[in-house]
Structures are given as C-alpha cells and as structure tokens.
C-alpha cells in the first residue's frame, strides 16, 4: 500500500466515522427537541385546564370566611383580580383561593377572562337555549341536566352566550350553569345528601322570586304560605333553590324550606320558664327548623343558658349536616321537646370548652338559648333571639 492509498483509506474511514457520529448526534438532538415539544405541549394543556377554574372579579368584592354576607371579611379583592375556583355555585357563593387566601365570594361577582373563552360549563337542571337573552325569545333547543355547553360570553348576573349540542349557538341563564370540572352543589368540606330532595315545604310565609337575590323586591313573583309543597328543580343547600310552585318556576331561599313541616303547638318561653322543664343528663329531642332534620342532645349545665352535647356520633353528624359541613357560632332555629311541650329555641354550632359525653364525635359542647337571652356580645344576642323567633314563627 502506497502512502497515498493509505491516506485515502484513513480519510475514508474518518469520513465514515464522522458521518455515523453526525447521525448519532442528529438522533440525540431529535430526542431533545421531541422532549422539549412534549413538555411544552403538556404545560400548555395544563395551563388550558387551569384556565377553566380561573375567574376574574367583576368589581371590588369581599372575600368572606363563609358563604354569607354576615360572615367575617378576610380581605377586599380588587376588580379584575384572578381567583382560583375551588367550588362553583352559580346561584350562590363560590369557594375560591385568592393569592393563597381561601374564602367565599358571591358567584355573580365573578366571571372568566374572555381571552380564555370558550369554557366548558354544564347545566345544573334541564334548561332552554334561547335565541336571545330573554325568557320571551324563541327556544332553540333544550340542554339536559349535567350536559356540557361551551360558554362563549359569560355574564354571571344575567345570561351566557353558549354553543350547545355541538352546533347550536344561543343563550342560557348563567345561574343554571356551573363549571363542569366540579361536582354538583357541595364539596368534600360541605357534605350534602347524595340524593337531593324532589319536594320540600316552606317553613313560613316566603317570597317566591324570579332571580336568586333579596337585594330588592322587584323580583318577587308572589308570596308562598307556610306549609306549601314546592317541587325542587335545582337544590342548593347554601343559597337559593330553583323550584316550581303551581306551574311557575322561580327561587326560594333554601333555609326557608324543610323536608318535614308538621302542624304543632310551639311555645315561646323565656330561659327562666324553659329552665324549669330541663332535667340534666336526660335526652332532649331537637328538630332543626330549616332542614327538618332531628337529633338528640343532653344538658349538663344550666347557667345563663343550657350547655348541651349531642348524645351519639350520629347526632353530631346530623348537626354538622344542618350546617353544611362547617362549625360556626351562627345561631340556628330549632324546636326542642321538654316535658312533652315543644319550645322555640336557638343553638350555636361551635364546639367549645368542656364536654361530658365521650364517643359522640365532638370535643366540647354547644349552647342552647331561649327567648330573651342576653349575652356579652349584643350582636350575637340579637342573632340568637332572631333565630328563636324564626323557630316560633315557622310553626304558626
């Protein structure tokens, strides 16, 4: 082999090896590029999924500790602030996370950023898709309960423009839609019955309204007498229920509806009068007026009111259910049976201080109050007396 031949051979071998290295390098680069593309795609999909539960505030709104205008204000949230929706109740309150702070904001003060539209919602009842945002407009189609629609424009306090059943574009009332990424009304921290009631009864004379708001009286359709049976279309234990009464549909506050309202003689007694009827450590039957649920308590101390405890774990669970899964100091109207007599009373829902019954699932006790109760906190005392009067009026 001449020197020239040897050099050509070496050059050919070197070129072939370089070509193989280039091929291997190209494969490596292609793998890196593929991984980058997949990562970006997953991130984009995650961002898109996250966008379905990111809403904006429509004005300066209060973030509250619970779903009530009486609840403590955690902070004031500026208009246009992004909030993460943890649970969406279109006709009431949404549980949200705002920059790490969790609380409740009224759903009609929230809307999704239009740049992220469309967003998938689902119907909370059988709803009409109409040609214009009015109940007077033509019905284009009907969306069954639980079916999804793409929301193109969202007005939380009015109507949403949607794409329904794959091709039909029209309008649905926004309070009849909820984010499809969440369960029906309620969450793990707010347990509700697996099967919502089909009918309930009014516990007093109540206003039947065209929209879920008591801000003014312009939306009152008529007044419904106590004991009237209403058909439940959409049951919302923490706000307003959408119902049908004598063929007409509208809204009634859920806390004014009960599963079981019976005619009974309920007495309005002061603490001094009621105290004489209570025997310590004896069962006291209780009916929660707003839900009709029953439980049993026992009193272990009689001072300015009765210190009471649920008797069993089941009684504790029932009390917890009447409060939508949250312990609080809020006064709740109840009927208690003492010596064969039914007495209007109120009870708080915050376990505190000492307890005497073990195995009932509650660490602490509750306070049972009667008419004319006086407390160190004037507002709390008013709430307790108002609840007693609600219990008394509910049975009249």
**Same domain for 276 and 246:** no
Domain boundary among 258, 282, 300: 258
Same-domain pairing of 310 and 233: no
The span from the CA of 41 to the CA of 47, in Å, is 10
Q: Are residues 250 and 293 both part of a single domain? A: no
CB 251 within 8 A of CB 211: yes
Q: How far apart are CA 338 and CA 286, in angstroms?
A: 10
Is residue 373 in a domain? yes
Q: Output the pLDDT for position 189.
A: 30
Q: Where are the alpha helices (DSSP H) in the chain?
A: 3-51, 271-275, 313-322, 378-394
Pair 303, 203 in one domain: no
The DSSP call for residue 302 is E
Domain span at 270? 266-394
Does 323 lie in the same domain as 301? yes
Q: Does some domain include residue 272?
A: yes
Position 372 in a domain: yes
Last residue of a domain, one of 210, 230, 258: 258
**CA pair distance 148, 316, nearest whole angstrom:** 37
Count of structural domains, the chain: 3
239 and 294 together in one domain: no
Asked whether residue 250 falls in the same domain as residue 334, the answer is no
Euclidean distance between CA atoms 97 and 77, whole angstroms:
11
Same domain? 247 vs 356: no
Asked whether residue 78 is assigned to any structural domain, the reply reads no
pLDDT tens for the chain, 396 residues long, are 555 554 545 555 555 655 555 555 566 666 666 666 655 554 444 444 344 467 778 777 889 888 777 788 888 888 878 888 777 666 677 888 888 888 888 877 887 665 455 677 777 656 788 899 888 888 888 776 667 788 888 777 678 888 887 678 899 888 777 765 443 333 323 333 334 567 787 765 678 988 888 777 788 898 787 668 888 888 776 678 888 888 888 998 877 777 655 445 788 899 999 999 999 999 898 888 888 788 899 999 999 999 999 999 989 998 999 888 899 999 999 999 887 788 999 999 999 999 999 999 999 999 999 998 888 888 889 999 999 998 888 776
Count of beta carbons in the 10 Å neighbourhood of residue 136: 6
377 and 358 assigned to the same domain: yes
DSSP designation for 163:
E
Query: Token pair of 77, please?
Result: 């949230």
Residue 246: CB partners within 8 Å, gap ≥ 6? none
pTM recorded for the entire structure: 0.39
Q: Provide the 3-class DSSP secondary structure of residue 185.
A: coil
Pair 281, 377 in one domain: yes
- The answer to the question of residue 137 being in a domain is yes
**Is there a single domain that holds both residue 209 and residue 235?**
yes
Q: What is the DSSP string of 364-379?
A: SBEEEE-BT---SSHH
Q: Would you say residue 80 lies in a domain? A: no
Three-class secondary structure assignment of 93-150: EEEEEECCEEEEEEHHHEECCHHHCCEEEEECCCEEEECCCCCCCCEEEEECCCCEEE
Q: Can you give the pLDDT at residue 16? A: 60
| pLDDT score for 361 | 94
227 & 150 share domain: no
253: Cα separation from own chain's centroid: 14
Q: Three-state SS for 192? A: coil
Tell me the CATH number at 126: 2.30.30.40
Write down the pLDDT at residue 190.
Answer: 30
Please check whether residue 130 lies inside any domain of the structure.
yes
Q: What's 363's domain CATH number? A: 2.40.10
What confidence score (pLDDT) does residue 44 get? 47
Half-sphere exposure of 6 (CA within 13 A, CB side): 3
In this prediction, residue 350 carries a pLDDT of 94
| The pLDDT of residue 25 | 55
């Amino acid at each position: 082999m001449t020197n020239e031949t040897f050099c050509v051979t070496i050059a050919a071998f070197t070129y072939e090896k370089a070509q193989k290295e280039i091929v291997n390098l190209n494969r490596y680069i292609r793998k890196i590029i593929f991984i980058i593309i997949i990562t970006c795609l997953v991130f984009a999909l995650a961002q898109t999924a996250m966008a379905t539960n990111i809403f904006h505030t429509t004005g300066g709104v209060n973030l509250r500790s619970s779903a009530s205008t009486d609840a403590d204000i955690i902070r004031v949230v500026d208009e246009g602030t992004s909030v993460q929706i943890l649970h969406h109740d279109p006709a009431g309150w949404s549980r949200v996370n705002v920059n790490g702070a969790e609380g409740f904001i009224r759903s009609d003060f929230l809307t999704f950023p239009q740049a992220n539209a469309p967003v998938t919602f689902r119907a909370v009842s059988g709803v009409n898709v109409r040609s214009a945002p009015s109940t007077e407009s033509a019905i284009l189609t009907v969306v069954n309960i639980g079916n999804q629609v793409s929301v193109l424009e969202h007005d939380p306090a009015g109507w949403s423009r949607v794409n329904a059943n794959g091709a039909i574009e029209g309008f649905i009332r926004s309070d009849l839609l909820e984010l499809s990424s969440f369960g029906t009304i309620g969450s793990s921290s707010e347990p509700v019955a697996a099967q919502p009631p089909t009918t309930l009864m009014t516990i007093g004379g109540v206003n039947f309204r065209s929209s879920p708001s008591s801000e003014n009286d312009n939306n009152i359709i008529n007044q419904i007498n106590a004991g009237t049976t209403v058909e439940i279309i959409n049951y919302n234990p923490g706000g307003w229920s959408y119902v049908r009464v004598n063929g007409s549909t509208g809204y009634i506050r859920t806390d004014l509806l009960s599963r079981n309202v019976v005619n009974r003689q309920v007495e309005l007694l002061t603490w001094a009068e009621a105290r004489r009827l209570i025997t310590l450590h004896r069962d006291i039957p209780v009916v929660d007026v707003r839900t009709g649920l029953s439980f049993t308590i026992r009193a272990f101390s009689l001072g300015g009111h009765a210190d009471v405890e649920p008797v069993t774990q089941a009684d504790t669970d029932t009390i917890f259910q009447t409060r939508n899964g949250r312990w609080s100091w809020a006064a709740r109207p109840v009927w208690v049976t003492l010596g064969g007599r039914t007495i209007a009373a109120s009870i708080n829902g915050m376990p505190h201080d000492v307890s005497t019954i073990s195995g009932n699932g509650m660490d602490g006790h509750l306070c049972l109050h009667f008419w004319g109760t006086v407390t160190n906190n004037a507002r709390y005392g008013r709430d307790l007396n108002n609840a007693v009067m609600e219990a008394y009026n509910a049975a009249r």
